[in-house]
Amino acid sequence: MRKYLRQAGICLVVAVALPAGAAIAKPEGSSPVPSVDAVGIWTHRDVGSASTPPMGWNSWNAFGTAITEAKVIGSAEVIRDSGLAEAGFRSINIDDGWWRKRRLNDGRMQVRTNLFPSAAVGGAEETSLRPFTDRLHAMGLRAGIYTDIGRNACSQAWSPDNPNLPEGTVAEREVGLHGHVEQDLALYFGDWNFDYAKVDACGIAHYAATRPNVVDHTFRELPPLVVDADANRSDIPAVQGLYAQVRDTLRRIRPKGDFVLSLCNWGSANVRAWGKDFGTMWRTSNDIDPSWGRMLHNFDSVATRELYAGPGHWNDPDMLEIGNGPFDADHPVEARAHMSLWAIAAAPLIIGTDLTKAAPQTIATLNNREVIAVDQDPAGNQGVIAYTDDEREIVVKTLAVRGVKAVALINRTAEPTEVTLTAAHLKFAANRPIMLRDLWAHADLGDLGGERTFKLAPHETMMLTAKGAPQLASGFFLSEMPGRINVAVDGIPALEPDPVIHRMIDPYHAGTTWDGNRPAYAGWGGPRADATPYDQSLRIAGTAYRSGLGVLANSRLEVKADGAFSRFVARVGVDDSTRGKRAAVRFEVYGDGKRLAMSPPLRFAHPAVEISAPITGVRVIELVVRQLGSAEGNVVASWAEARVE
Ligand code: GLA
């Protein structure tokens, strides 16, 4: 379906020098010189409203640019009539291919009416998508539109032979937001009444002066601000500045915040760290496609970012491929695994298949209310990895009801395997009952009995809920509630690619002959739940800890306590896996801006020190690790067993 020819493009793009980008003002949320001093408030502000992960349908994985109004409405009708709308799949989003041109006299965007007949309204507007959104709204659904942050879009860069590319002169074909943010968003969210925008980034990535279709004047040059797989050569403040303009404009147009802004720059430019401050959701990797390895790759790109998501802001591993290729009705095990991984990760659930042709089995997989309830749990905690090796993973998501967890037992391989789940994985007391339920079989499985071994078929993910007595008599380990944590300062001194994302090749490069860039998403060194920032177990002076937060020195985390707890306790120290062994660090705990507790200076190999602080009435706890003096490498610091009681 896709006719992208990315190879040549990427070769050329990497040969281009970046512009300074200095003209763009520092946007809210970006912090070039981070201070770890406490600020006394929860600084994160959600963009739009999606207190649970957005759910809906998008045309791209099903149709590419070959969309029509009839196809979109066809799938929307299935959503309305099959129970999927009632299950929460309500946003019907059109992707690339809907636009015809930008009208030259006033810049107003024109719709491709041969594809969207209801848009041929005539009069001064000529075309309008309002009849289309009215129809979706009348069906009880919402409407999403697609655009690009640059002047031009992805299919223009990569599918020159596509019949549905924008038409006309160079200026008429500039359909992206660049230079038209106010005008286009007023049209899309005002006149046309869309609720959701996906904002792609090819326009700021793939229109370098050296590109053949820029050289031949098909498109105007836009010096790349984003270089795929190369965060160092991406102009991060400039990219943030552009997305901030979109965010701020939408907030003005929709002052009640009733919109979703989906950032789509494919995990590039370190968006995995800052997307939360600029969009409702942000892509953490390159495009998914219907393949088992690619699905795992995209899951991996969110799985270690549990502290960056929370209610109102979501890591996005891309749209679902359930119903397509190896996730179709003939592959129910793989389809269920895909759905389970997205649900345990609290990922947006955006269906990407032609529902008019979907088998009942596909609809049933998408419509599993027990699995959807895990994804949509109001606590908004992303699942945390409790166990991982090359073949198997156990991911545990703390749900809003105390003593209830969801757990995914994952077999990544094409061989059968066994996974043993223990009370410790769940942070439940082993000597009390732990009642299990299988969310695909819709069957209660009885008591875990301390631990239980499950046989998993090739590619199978079992999705369970577990009800038990939390290890802590009251309160939580902070690593059980990642949705209440805001990574304010990550302490990463220099960007590094994240090596734990399985190295699936770019989806648009087929075969092993490609010698171009390897997938490399920045973010290595970001704070983690129940692991160090470099993916080791938490360990201080030889003692291992199963619970805690692993951070780098010079970091600051905000924890939303909302006055619900009375004491913060942790065992702190430099982690045994630290790179910098020389410098000391100091752990500081703040409550609503006041320092409540502080550790002595601690160095590598010093035994863990208990730090405890009264937090009655405290709304925001801040956890600061300050480095004292210089180190020979980044200092890894562990808030072991960090908990609120
Ligand atoms: C990019 C995006 C996809 C899709 C296409 C459309 O590749 O990542 O999700 O929107 O563009 O051209």
User: Does the structure show a pLDDT above 80 at 559?
Assistant: yes
Minimum mean pLDDT among 49-53, 259-263, 269-273, 497-501: which range?
A: 497-501
- What would the pLDDT profile of 269-300 be if each residue is shown by its tens digit? 999 999 999 999 999 999 999 999 999 999 99
CA of residue 249 to ligand 1 center, whole Å: 23
Of the chain, the percentage scoring pLDDT greater than 70 comes to: 93
> For residue 446, what are the β-bridge partners?
436
- Confirm if 352 and 318 have CB atoms less than 8 A apart: no
CA distance 227 to 233: 6
The end-to-end CA distance of the chain, in Å, is 54
pLDDT band at 517 (very low <50, low <70, confident <90, very high): low
| Span 495-508, average pLDDT | 80
DSSP per-residue codes, 3-17? ---HHHHHHHHTTSP
pLDDT in tens, 356-367: 999 999 999 999
Q: What is the 3-state secondary structure (H, E, C) of 399-444?
A: CCCCCEEEEEEEECCCCCEEEEEEHHHHCECCCCCCEEEECCCCEE
168-215 pLDDT, tens digit per residue, is 999 999 999 999 999 999 999 999 999 999 999 999 999 999 999 999
Measured on CA atoms in the order 128, 133, 135, 138, is the torsion positive or negative?
negative
Q: Is the CB of 334 under 6 A from ligand 1?
A: no
At 65-123, the pLDDT tens digits run 999 999 999 999 999 999 999 999 999 999 999 999 999 999 999 999 999 999 999 99
For residue 285 and ligand 1, the question of a CB distance below 6 A is answered with no
Could you please report the per-residue DSSP string of 291-317? Answer: SHHHHHHHHHHHHT-TTT-BTTBEEE-
Q: DSSP secondary-structure letter at 186?
A: I
638 is written with which tokens?
């562990």
Pocket flag, ligand 1, residue 154 (CB < 6 Å): yes
- pLDDT at residue number 440: 98
DSSP single-letter state for residue 19: P
Compute, in angstroms, the gap from residue 200 CA to the centroid of ligand 1. 7
Question: Does the pLDDT value for residue 16 go beyond 50?
Answer: no
Measured in Å, residue 378 CA sits from the centre of ligand 1 at: 29
Task: Report CA 305 to chain centroid distance, whole Å.
Answer: 8
Q: What whole-number distance in Å separates Cα of residue 480 and Cα of residue 398?
A: 6
Q: Is the pLDDT at 465 greater than 70, yes or no? A: yes
- Asked if pLDDT for residue 638 goes beyond 70, the answer is yes
The DSSP secondary-structure symbol of 485 reads E
For the ranges 442-456, 490-504, 533-547, 558-572, the lowest mean pLDDT is seen at 490-504
- Check pocket membership of 99 for ligand 1, CB cut-off 6 A: no
- What is the rounded distance in angstroms from the CA atom of residue 271 to the CA atom of residue 282? 7
Q: Which of 4, 6, 95 to probe ligand 1 with, by most ligand atoms within 8 A of CB?
A: 95
CA distance 320 to 375: 14
Q: Give the pLDDT of residue 161.
A: 85
Asked if pLDDT for residue 305 goes beyond 80, the answer is yes
Task: For 551-589, give one letter per residue: b (16+ CB within 10 A) or e.
Answer: bbbbbbbbbbbeeebeebbbbbbbbbbbebeebbbbbbb
Helices and strands: H and E segment counts in the chain = 15, 31
- Atom 3 in ligand 1: which residue has the minimum CA distance? 287
CA distance linking residue 325 with residue 343, whole number of Å: 20
Higher local confidence (pLDDT), 630 or 319: 319
What is the pTM for the complete model shown?
Answer: 0.95
Index of the ligand 1 atom closest to the CA of residue 266: 8
Does the Cβ of 96 fall within 6 Å of ligand 1? yes
- State how far the Cα of 254 lies from the Cα of 146, in Å rounded to an integer: 18
Q: Closest Cα partner for 536 from 505, 566, 482, 577?
A: 577
- Taking 80 as the threshold, does the pLDDT of residue 7 lie above it? no
Please report which confidence band the pLDDT of residue 2 belongs to, taking 50, 70 and 90 as the band edges: very low
Please give the share of the chain, as a percent, with pLDDT higher than 90.
89
